[in-house]
């Protein structure tokens, strides 16, 4: 059980607009509050994310757009997908900076705290760090090839 001092501190922090009570309580004693779920993802947002993830075989939720990324991690993710040769016709990107509910809901949807987030065939792959690692060890190339989302290799002309 939380002590009176802990609760008092939590409520003091909670009275500040920038720090919600849930965050204050979890910070004070995360082991005791793990069973509590503070779910913020609405059914409407979940449905919208489901539709976005299903819109193309490769979906990236990022800050900014592929043409103008708004953070280094989003830029790196786009560059990795470009180096891998992802077919633009099988790729879609969503700018989370345009919709705060999407941005926050996505973190709960994937249970992943950061943006960008990559989905391939409706499955969450990971963020920039995971993409970088998979790119470097060859796993990403193999996965994208198996899913058939790469630009087809041009047939060599017969001689």
CB atoms within 10 A of CB 120: 21
118 within 8 A of 131, measured Cβ to Cβ: yes
48 within 8 A of 59, measured Cβ to Cβ: no
> pTM of the predicted model, to two decimals?
0.72
In a domain, 38, yes or no: no
Mean pLDDT check: name the lowest of 9-23, 74-88, 127-141.
9-23
Number of domains in the chain: 1
Which CATH number is 76's domain given?
Answer: 3.40.30.10
Q: What are phi and psi of 117, to 5 degrees?
A: -135, 130
Residue 54 belongs to domain spanning: 43-147
Tell me the pLDDT tens digit for each residue of 14-71: 333 444 434 444 444 444 434 444 557 789 999 999 999 999 999 999 999 999 999 9
In a domain, 109, yes or no: yes
């Amino acid at each position: 059980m939380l002590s009176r001092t802990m609760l008092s501190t939590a409520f003091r922090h909670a009275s500040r607009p920038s720090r919600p009570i849930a965050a204050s309580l979890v910070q004070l004693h995360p082991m005791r509050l793990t069973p509590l779920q503070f779910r913020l993802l609405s059914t409407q947002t979940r449905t919208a994310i489901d539709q976005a993830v299903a819109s193309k075989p490769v979906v990236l939720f990022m800050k900014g757009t592929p043409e103008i990324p708004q953070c280094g991690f989003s830029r790196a993710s786009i560059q990795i997908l470009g180096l891998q040769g992802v077919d633009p016709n099988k790729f879609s990107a969503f700018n989370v900076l345009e919709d705060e509910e999407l941005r926050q809901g996505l973190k709960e949807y994937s249970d992943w705290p950061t943006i960008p987030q990559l989905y391939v065939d409706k499955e969450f792959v990971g963020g920039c760090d995971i993409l970088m690692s998979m790119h470097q060890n060859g796993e990403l190339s193999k996965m994208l090839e198996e899913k058939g989302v790469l630009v087809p290799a041009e047939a060599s002309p017969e001689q």
